[in-house]
Amino acid sequence: MAAIELDAVDRRIVNTLQGGFPISKQPYAQAAETLGIGEAELLDRLDRLQDQKLISRFGPMYHAERLGGDVTLAALAVPADRYDEIADLVNSHTEVAHNYARTHDYNMWFVIAAERPERIAQVIDEIERETGLEVLNLPKLEEFFIGLKVEV
């Protein structure tokens, strides 16, 4: 796959919107004005960045525990020849927020965020049944905010 170049506007969008997004009746219009572009252009560019897999998602981050839910980090040791199949099964769960390949015996890591704490165990059970693999559940013991922002 050929490298995809970001132009100055794409870079400005990514760098600016990582720092926050307006909460208003027309947040995209407000964000676009801050960026010096039109709302339609902002929406088109966000769609293109996602379609090209230059950004994985664009949306709010919710603190599941503060909303009465729960979150956990989980991992699977997936045979290489089944990786894509297992990734599709894991990702089919709406509670799976992130999924990352790792170079490790446990080579698939993912976050499960659920509206109700008991749903975490249910999702893990479902994934184990569907994949035939044991899920390593790594619940959060303590949270640290690192304020990660990736400048492009």
Give me the tens of pLDDT residue by residue for the chain, a chain 152 residues long.
Answer: 566 788 999 999 999 998 888 999 999 999 999 999 999 999 999 999 988 878 877 777 777 777 778 899 999 999 999 999 999 999 999 999 778 899 999 999 999 999 999 999 999 999 999 999 999 999 988 877 777 677 78
Q: What pLDDT does residue 1 have?
A: 54
- Contacts of residue 107, Cβ cutoff 8 Å, sequence gap at least 6: 76, 77, 78, 83, 101
Q: What pLDDT does residue 3 have?
A: 65
8-51 topology per CATH: Arc Repressor Mutant, subunit A (1.10.10)
**Can you tell me whether residue 57 is helix, strand or coil?**
coil
| Domains of the chain, residue spans | 8-51, 64-139
pLDDT tens digits, 107-140: 999 999 999 999 999 999 999 999 999 999 999 8
- Shortest CA distance to 131 belongs to which of 68, 69, 83? 83
Give the Cα separation of 140 and 31 in Å (integer). 33
- For residue 102, how many other CB atoms are within 10 A of its CB? 10
Mean pLDDT of the chain: 90
64-139 topology per CATH: Alpha-Beta Plaits (3.30.70)
Alpha helix segments (H runs only) across the chain: 8-17, 27-35, 39-51, 83-91, 117-131
Q: What pLDDT does residue 102 have?
A: 93
Q: What pLDDT does residue 7 have?
A: 93
Q: What pLDDT does residue 2 have?
A: 61
**Centroid of chain to Cα 32:** 23
- Contacts of residue 110, Cβ cutoff 8 Å, sequence gap at least 6: 73, 74, 75, 76, 90, 96, 97, 98, 99, 100
Q: How many CA atoms lie within 13 A of 17 on its CB side?
A: 25
pLDDT tens digits, 138-151: 998 887 777 767 77
